[in-house]
């Protein structure tokens, strides 16, 4: 920290205040952007985990309890997989039903997954038990489907179900209903209320049998992409490969409320960055002005000895730049420590029902620290141009006058 070398001067304490203010500003900006990145990553990851980046389905309308199927076309699938940016393609189908126990009835959606489905998301959300066993490699065989299902912690609590319990479920189809006795193999929890309250994860072949579909019929294709930032561009490329009677929906279009909330957070973070940048600029400008006022006689003496305005300005700008860099370095160090503590121990918790996660998430990225540090430095240096210009107005004759 800088210390005052001038007995009764104010520039030393004010320099300390400027450094502390810049450091706090950098901490707030880094933490704000890191938390926003963490929120966006967590929410997008959970929503995509329940579905995918892109969903191909039949364009025709269908009743809410039963989808209109699409055919598993190997030629079409090959075309989609060849699109630049497509990472994985998998199959799914959903069927509305009701879980009945001796005490109550609860409406659910059975989400049938193929054996090639990427279940890494559900593996990371497991609370108890294990994933259902989809033994058939293709997931589209005529063989006997698995009776195992994965239910959410919410459904398990409301229906008083545990791992290993039988879950009697009824599905409506046509003019009658069909029942299935599933076995709960595991319980998951995502903290996404709209999903946890609704979905039961099971075998795709169960949905095919309930709907009297052939083994090459599914509810739709789910497509995972390599780069979320190119989602719209990849969607257009995939859409170009689809038949006229197929529709394509992005994950953003499927869940507009969640992504609108994230966009609102973006606006709030932008406001925070602007305010903290202004605070940092005001702090360093105040410190530089006080230094110039206190060193007025010194400035006058230097000018009297032949120093130019530019050379004198350079001295004060270098001094102020050192304060800025010191504040940024301290701020980065404190922000990094706070981010590591939160990421490792989840010190700051949240209400899962309100925020869809139990703790404040952190995106720890070197790019965040670099961009904010460079941005803070540039803003502060630009702000110094105005007080530095005041040096040219200091007259050697006036500044060297004494009252003696």
- 112 with 137, same domain: the answer is yes
pLDDT reported for residue 136: 55
> Over the stretch 308-332, which tens digit does the pLDDT of each residue have?
888 888 989 999 999 999 999 999 9
- 180 with 293, same domain: the answer is no
Tell me, yes or no, whether 248 lies in a domain.
no
pLDDT reported for residue 374: 96
Tell me, yes or no, whether 187 lies in a domain.
yes
pLDDT reported for residue 65: 63
- 21 with 140, same domain: the answer is no
> Over the stretch 261-278, which tens digit does the pLDDT of each residue have?
888 888 889 999 999 999
Domain boundary among the residues 243, 269, 297 is at 243
Which residues of the chain fall short of a pLDDT of 70? 1-11, 61-65, 135-143, 174, 397-404
Task: Tell the residue number behind the tokens 């059975």, with chain if given.
Answer: 110
- 224 with 276, same domain: the answer is no
Tell me, yes or no, whether 249 lies in a domain.
no
Domain boundary among the residues 243, 275, 310 is at 243
Tell me, yes or no, whether 298 lies in a domain.
yes
In the chain, the number of structural domains is: 2
Strand 105-113 relative to strand 54-58: parallel, antiparallel, unpaired? Answer: unpaired
- 293 with 345, same domain: the answer is yes
Look up the domain containing 125 and give its range.
60-243
Q: Within 10 A of 288 (CB to CB), how many other CB atoms are there?
A: 27
User: Exposure of 26 by Cβ count < 10 A (0-12 exposed, 13-18 middle, 19+ buried)?
Assistant: buried
CB 54 within 8 A of CB 239: no
Tell me, yes or no, whether 138 lies in a domain.
yes
pLDDT reported for residue 404: 42
- 78 with 209, same domain: the answer is yes
Tell me, yes or no, whether 250 lies in a domain.
no
Domain boundary among the residues 196, 213, 243 is at 243
- 268 with 201, same domain: the answer is no
- 153 with 68, same domain: the answer is yes
CB 67 within 8 A of CB 94: yes
- 190 with 302, same domain: the answer is no
Report pTM.
0.85
């Amino acid at each position: 920290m800088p210390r005052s070398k001038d007995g009764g001067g104010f520039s030393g304490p004010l320099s300390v205040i400027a450094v502390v203010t810049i450091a706090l500003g950098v901490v707030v900006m880094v933490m704000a952007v890191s938390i926003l990145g963490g929120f966006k990553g967590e929410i997008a990851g959970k929503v995509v985990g329940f579905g995918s980046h892109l969903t191909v389905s039949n364009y025709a309308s269908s009743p809410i309890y039963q989808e209109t199927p699409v055919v598993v076309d190997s030629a079409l699938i090959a075309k989609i997989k060849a699109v630049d940016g497509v990472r994985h393609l998998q199959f799914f189908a959903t069927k509305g039903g009701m879980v009945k126990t001796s005490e109550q009835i609860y409406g659910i959606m059975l989400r049938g997954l193929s054996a090639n489905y990427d279940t890494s998301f559900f593996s990371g959300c497991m609370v108890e038990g294990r994933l259902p066993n989809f033994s058939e490699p293709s997931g589209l065989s005529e063989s006997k489907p698995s009776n195992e299902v994965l239910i959410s912690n919410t459904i398990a609590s409301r229906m008083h179900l545990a791992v290993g319990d039988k879950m009697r479920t009824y599905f409506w189809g046509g003019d009658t209903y069909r029942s299935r006795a599933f076995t709960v193999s595991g319980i998951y929890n995502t903290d996404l209320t709209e999903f946890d309250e609704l979905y039961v994860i099971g075998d795709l072949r169960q949905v095919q049998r309930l709907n009297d579909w052939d083994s090459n019929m599914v509810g739709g294709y789910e497509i995972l992409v390599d780069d979320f930032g190119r989602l719209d561009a990849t969607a257009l490329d995939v859409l170009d490969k689809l038949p006229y009677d197929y529709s394509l929906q992005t994950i953003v279009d499927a869940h507009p409320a969640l992504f609108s909330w994230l966009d609102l957070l973006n606006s709030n973070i932008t406001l925070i960055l602007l305010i903290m940048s202004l605070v940092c600029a005001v702090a360093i400008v105040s410190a530089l002005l006080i230094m110039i006022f206190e060193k007025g006689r010194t400035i006058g003496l230097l000018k009297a000895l032949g120093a130019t305005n530019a050379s004198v300005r350079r001295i004060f700008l270098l001094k102020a730049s050192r304060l800025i860099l010191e504040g940024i370095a301290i701020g980065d160090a404190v922000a990094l420590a706070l981010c590591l503590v939160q990421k490792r121990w989840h010190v700051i918790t949240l209400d899962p029902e309100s925020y869809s996660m139990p703790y404040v998430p952190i995106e720890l990225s070197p790019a965040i620290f670099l961009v904010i540090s460079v941005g803070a430095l540039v803003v502060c240096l630009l702000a110094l141009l105005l007080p530095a210009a005041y040096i040219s107005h200091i007259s050697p004759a006036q500044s060297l006058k004494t009252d003696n």
